[in-house]
Amino acid sequence: MNIQTPSGNAAGFLHRYAGLAERLPGAGVEAVRRLREAAAETLAAAGLPSRRVEAWRYTDLTPVLRAEFREALTPVDEAVELPPARAERRAVFVDGRFRADLSSLDGLDAAALSDVVGDVAGRLNTVASASQPMVTLNTLLFEDGLVLDVAEGVDAGRLELLSLASGETESTIHPRHLIRLARGARLVLLETAASPSGARHLHNPVFEIEVAEAAVLTHVRVQREAAGAYHLAHLGVRVAEGGTYDGFVLNAGGRISRSETHLALLGPRATAHLNGAQLVAEGQLADTTTALDHAAPNCASRQTVKTVLSGRSRGVFQGKILVRREAQKTDGYQMNQALLLSEDAEIDSKPQLEIYADDVKCSHGATAGALDPDSLFYLRARGIPADTARAMLVRAFLQEAVEIVEDEVARDALDEAVQGWWVGHGGEAA
């Protein structure tokens, strides 16, 4: 493919790759170079998705495609104001680049991807398929990320992963994170993505996660980026026999945000939780898309996603549970609930079950509605101001989802983000 003269809706990204190819990490590593060239060919041929693609029919990327993104130019030693620490150890990325001076990884087998990309090239793109468009884009342009391995039987405690944007106009960030837990290992990963008010950047993170036998990963993601930013995340997760992936994602920022998770339960008695909440305000779109593959018997999965929408906003939930023929004794549950605070808000919900086994217990459902007027009247009749009453009912609606998170520190982070969103969008503290 001639990347010097690309065309199509991905032309801008391909032009950028052509200019950066020799400066990107792994440029001299044959395996990495082949991955990037394959990604360039895929983007040139297929481009980025439009609403004609079924998986993207509810999420229009036109604003992303029209933006003129460029490389973030933040100096690696620029002073950055960090939020209060929630764990003793943290990995900090600013504009997608690892900041060793702001990070503390003592006692962990961890490194910046840019430093070890040649050593871990074989792990790249082994979980998330290159047919996924945002993974393909990330493969083309990734510069850094966290490479973390937790050894057999080790409880690594909590680790914060902070992804901060400097606020440069229409910069683009493509971190690639590789996380692997060995047999019986444990980790609580608290991830936060944030950017200053007024920022207009594209954040396109990709996670490749492996959870081995009897290992447990608790992964809480809080996305609080600026209202003009674009956040398009992809998680590829593989869980082995007896392993657990306990995930929760809170989307509370971004003009367009999409959290897409592809998770495979590959061994008996593996467990997955893919829970979350979306807080969507005027002019924003938030999309939670999941594909859960039950590929082994006696596995369980739980998914509850709640969406609160205000103003002229749009929420999307697409969740698919696939139960393969060999996955007998599957126990799967999926629920999506939406609370519309405005007549102009819209929710598109598409829960799906695809079952080939005959001894399973699976259910799914979706609901949408407004605040209960009787409950609101009850609170107002007791002297509670209208905004406070509404806040109390919204918090009560979200509480069921947030309470699912067992780690207290992670739950506090979610509560803080929910409260900050409500206050920031015209409400009062409950």
Domain boundaries, the chain: 51-370, 371-430
The pLDDT of residue 87? 92
Could you give the angle at the alpha carbon of 146 between the alpha carbons of 305 and 421, nearest 5°?
35
DSSP state of 95: T
What's residue 129's pLDDT?
Answer: 54
CA angle 319, 324, 328 (to 5 degrees): 110
User: With a cut of 50, which residues of the chain have pLDDT below it?
Assistant: 1, 428-430
How many CB atoms are located within 10 Å of the residue 15 CB?
Answer: 14
State the DSSP code for 55.
G
Residue where the block lists tokens 């593959």: 293
pTM: 0.93
How far is Cα 415 from Cα 398, in angstroms, rounded to an integer?
10
Beta-carbon contacts of residue 38 (< 8 Å; ≥ 6 apart):
130, 139
For tokens 């520190």, the residue is 409
CB 303 within 8 A of CB 290: yes
Q: Which of 283, 326, 281, 319 is nearest to 301 (CA)?
A: 319
133-141 and 30-46 helices, crossing angle to 10° = 140
Helix H or strand E encompassing 220: strand 216-224
For residue 196, the Cα-to-chain-centroid distance in whole angstroms is 19
**Residue found by looking up tokens 């609370």 in the block:** 339
Query: Measuring CA to CA, how many Å separate 360 from each of 63, 245, 333?
Result: 42, 21, 11
CA distances from 132 to 46, 127, 128, 351 (A): 11, 11, 7, 20
Give the pair of three-digit tokens for residue 351: 């829960």
What integer pLDDT is reported at residue 424 of this predicted model? 66
Distance CA 94, CA 245 (A): 27
